Structure 1
Amino acid sequence: MSRQEITLSIQLAVKAPDVHRELVRIVGELDQFSIQEREDAAWVDVLVLEIGHDPAAEFETIRLLLKENVVGALFLTASEATTDLLLPAMRAGAREFFQQPIDAAEVKQALEAVLQKRLRELNPGSTVSEKGKIYSVVGAKGGVGTTTFAVNFATSIQALNKDRLVALIDMNPFTGEIPFFLDLKTDTDWEEIGRNLSRLDAPYLQSAMARHSSGVFVLPAPPKLDRELKMATGFLFKLVSAMREFFDDIVIDCGMSISGDAMKICEYSESIYLISTMSMPCIINVRKLQQSFASAAGVTNGRLQVVANRFEKKGQLSLAEASKLLGSDIVNIIPNDYPLTMSAVSSGKTVAEVAKRSQVAKAYRKLAQSVTGPQVGKAGGLFGLFR
């Protein structure tokens, strides 16, 4: 079934008149969605529920609705977004939370995700969306090689297919080091792009982002934040979502941050790579991260992939021991070659540039091959400007 043949129903359980009107307006702009007015409808594809003065009772209602299988996706909205509200909401089964006043782009993004999911269900095995894939890289602790992994993973993806459009984003303000790792001079960071978010298109990104000799487009973090510039709530998530229209693959160095935008981006990621060494403190942190992703974003082992970085067979923990502690197999291994890695970092080169036939370079190529699959080209439109 094609996109044009589908119409999904949306019911609004929203008391605030201005919020209700805005949601009706947004839905009215979408061809594949319509408002369901009947309160006794046996099924609605999307229910938008406003949280009032009794959240506990409303969360119980959410559980019952999902248990009775009368609602496909459940979105929540409220005037305030607090941890005490968001975490129980997600645990109850809510897919999205819209803080008031409503952001139209955020609502449309969430509804598009519901539509894509339905299309995948109706057309198993087919590719229904050409949007780029996000790969988030998160460190179990400082110093485990998170940035090294992100840089070499992105450049390895690019090396496998020169026609792919690959972006590498540093989400670590103040401490971001990706330009240093690639010996790359950059004039624009994501805070600067935040000043021009309204003109975000392929030509602007092409001119604003620095391009490494490998072909990867790099967007660094700001060395300091401009206190006078008030970034919109969820700015980084919106930026990455918009970039999916222009790039085939987006690798994000999240550092050790899984709060705010980073968690939201991880939720929409194709895969999340948890970078760890085979030491007990790291593995304990990985376990905590697994639990955090599962409870806050509903992300489980299917998309969470632990990477044993700097792996040595005679390390503190064996792969079998670490896998048992984590409850899942560790299949991604980057062997330890500290002199090679440090040589690459200090010279501003990738591992493959320094030693293409090394075991470390081969490990990154193997990992890149696992995500690129067969070449799928994008034609026409703004993509030609990049190519």
Structure 2
Amino acid sequence: MDAQNTTLSVQLAVKTIEVRKSLSRIIQKFDGLTLEENTDSPWVDILVLEIGSNPSAEFETIKALLQENVVGNLFLTSPKTTADILLPALRAGAREFFTQPIDVEEVKAAFQKVKDQAHNQNTVADQTVNKGKIYSVLGAKGGVGTTTFAVNFATSIQARDKNKSVALIDMNRLVGEVPLFLDLETDTNWEDIGRNISRLDAAYLQSAMVRHSSGVYVLPAPGKVDTEKLLPAGSLFQVVKSMRNFFDYIVVDGGMYFDENLFKIFTESEQIYLVSILSLPCIINVRKLQQSVFAANGVTNGRLRIIANRFEKKAQVSLAEANKIIGTDISATIPNNYALSMTAINNGKSIADVSRNSNIARAYSQLAESVADSGLERAGGIFSWFSKN
């Protein structure tokens, strides 16, 4: 991970107005730092705390914060620099102590030190852990079964090898339905993880993501748009890219909406599955969308696979006609069995769980086999121990 992509959250627990203003200005101008205003945030990379009129009580609070693992780095500031303040502060776990008035260069140096350490940790992880593989799923139109494909593709990959770790990420803000398809409940989504990306490790992911009975770990999309919590551009891409350190396979349900994050994820994807049905409007959309996908830097024709969902041999548009309109061959077909698919969705199960020997389940199993047997050699990654829990 490049140094400029290491972003740390900073929260200020400072009552002196001038000190708070001075620190805020430094943070706002410091590349790679974001000022965390949400006091209910489950994690903050750096907390700057002002010691007030009751130091002993505040030092106990400091110890509790560090013990609860909700603060990565603790900086203290106080108008007093006497030994009865400095020594207990260091013993309590403070990494830096800022005198008042604030010395701008001193504060910037402290922030830079933490940022460099975070960058070095990420670099070591990038160099020592084999990368998992990303498979993106995109819909030609709404209602063609994009989420059904993503869910059953992910669970089928997991079924191929229980010792591998599989993640399923729902990128559909507002309309994301992956948890509903798998009968899962969770309070955490990729926006929460994106706001704490510097904390991204196996333990944090284990607590943040929800695990389906198949073994697949699910990361839902936010359920609402909150303008105060929107992530900086490209943050979701950094979440997905970083998760390659912890998972063998990552399936991304991209829905049918292009944005900067999805284009960047395409460049990191082993395969991009463009899901369609054999109707003329969908086939025309496929032709347009594949050109948009190819516009992403580094995405070539061999990485885009077109999937004909709900396939029937007697469809009004034949495979041959569809191939001619698109200009390339459809890679695979998923048979049409609407009743079975709806039974699986309504019961929060995968299609294989409902009918393992059905033609649809076999089609997904064949797709998973082409992926799971592609020679990915990993010892399960950092995340492999989750499968044992």
What TM-score comes out, normalization by structure 1 length? 0.65
Aligned to 1:190: 190
In 2, Cα distance between equivalents of 1:365 and 1:385: 25
1:177 shift after superposition: 0.3
Q: Structure 1, residues 317-356: CA drift from partner, whole Å, max 9, x if none? A: 1111111111211131100001100111111111001111
1:140 corresponding residue in structure 2: 140
- In structure 2, what is the Cα distance between the partners aligned to 1:375 and 1:268? 18
Instruction: Name 1:307's counterpart in structure 2.
Output: 307
Matched, 1:321 2:321: yes
Residue aligned with 2:254, SS: strand
**1:367: which partner in 2?**
367
**Residue by residue, what CA displacement relative to the aligned partner does 1:293-329 show, whole Å, maximum 9, x if unpaired?**
1224342320100000000011121111111111211
Alignment CA distance shift 1:326-1:136 (3 Å): same
Aligned to 2:347: 347
Shift of 1:230: 4.2
Match of 1:231 in 2: 231
Amino acid in the other structure paired with 1:137: V
Q: Which amino acid aligns with 1:263?
A: F
SS at match of 2:306: strand
Determine the structure 1 residue equivalent to 2:289: 289
Count residues in correspondence.
Answer: 270
Find the aligned partners of 1:384 and 1:252 in 2 and give their Cα distance.
20
Structure 1 pair 381–330 and aligned structure 2 pair: CA distance change class (3 A): closer
Residue 382 of structure 1 corresponds to 382
- Tell me the amino acid that sits aligned with residue 208 of structure 2: A
Say whether residues 1:154 and 2:149 are aligned partners: no
How far did residue 380 of structure 1 move? 8.3
Do the aligned residues in 1 keep the contact of 2:280 with 2:317 (CA within 8 Å)? Answer: yes
Q: Secondary structure at the match of 2:245?
A: coil
8 Å CA contact 1:266–1:272 kept in 2: the answer is yes
Residues 40-79 of structure 1 aligned to structure 2 (within 5 Å): none
Q: What is the Cα deviation at residue 195 of structure 1?
A: 2.6
Return the offset for 1:194. 2.1
Q: Secondary structure at the match of 1:252?
A: strand
Deviations 1:153-196 (A, max 9, x none): 00000001000100000001100000000001112101111232
Structure 1 residue 381, shift from structure 2 partner: 7.1
In structure 2, stretches of 5+ residues that fail to align are 1-30, 32-114
Q: Residues 292 and 376 (structure 1 numbering): CA distance in 2 closer, same or farther, change over 3 Å?
A: closer
Q: Indicate if the aligned counterparts of 2:247 and 2:380 stay in contact, CA closer than 8 A.
A: no
CA contact (8 A) 2:164 2:380 kept: no
Q: 1:230 to 1:354 in 2, by over 3 A?
A: closer
Alignment identity in percent?
60
CA contact (8 A) 1:203 1:386 kept: no
Tell me by how many angstroms 1:376 deviates. 4.9
Q: Secondary structure at the match of 2:343?
A: helix
Name the counterpart of 2:240. Answer: 240
Letter in 2 for 1:212: H
Q: Quick check: which has more Rg, 1 or 2?
A: 2
State the distance in 2 between where 1:307 and 1:324 align.
Answer: 15
Partner SS for 1:343: helix
Instruction: Please list the CA deviations of residues 236-287 of structure 1 after superposition, one character each: whole Å capped at 9, or x if unmatched.
Output: 1000010000000000000002221011101210000000000110010000
2:337 corresponds to = 337
Contact 1:202–1:385 (CA under 8 A) maintained in structure 2: no
Partner SS, residue 353 of structure 2:
helix
Deviations 1:73-110 (A, max 9, x none): xxxxxxxxxxxxxxxxxxxxxxxxxxxxxx99xx99xx
Question: Matched residue of 2:137: which SS?
Answer: strand
Q: In structure 2, how many angstroms separate the alpha carbons of the residues matched to 1:235 and 1:324?
A: 38
CA distance in 2: counterparts of 1:210 and 1:380, whole angstroms? 18
Paired letter, 2:270: E
Normalised by the length of structure 2, the TM-score is 0.65
The amino acid across from 2:364 in the alignment is: Y
Q: Paired residue for 1:174?
A: 174
Structure 1 residues 120-176: Cα deviation after superposition (integer angstroms, max 9, x where no partner): xxxxxxxx9820100000000000000000000000000010001000000011000
Aligned to 1:51: none
The residue that corresponds to 1:77 in the other structure is none
1:258 aligns with 2:268: no
Structure 1: give runs of 5+ residues left out of the alignment: 1-21, 23-102, 117-127
How many angstroms apart in 1 are the aligned matches of 2:171 and 2:243?
A: 15
**Counterpart contact for 2:189–2:220, Cα < 8 Å:** yes
Using the TM superposition, give the Cα deviation of residue 386 of structure 1 relative to its aligned residue in structure 2, in angstroms: 2.4
Contact kept, 8 Å, 1:152 with 1:364, in 2: the verdict is yes
1:324 counterpart SS class:
helix
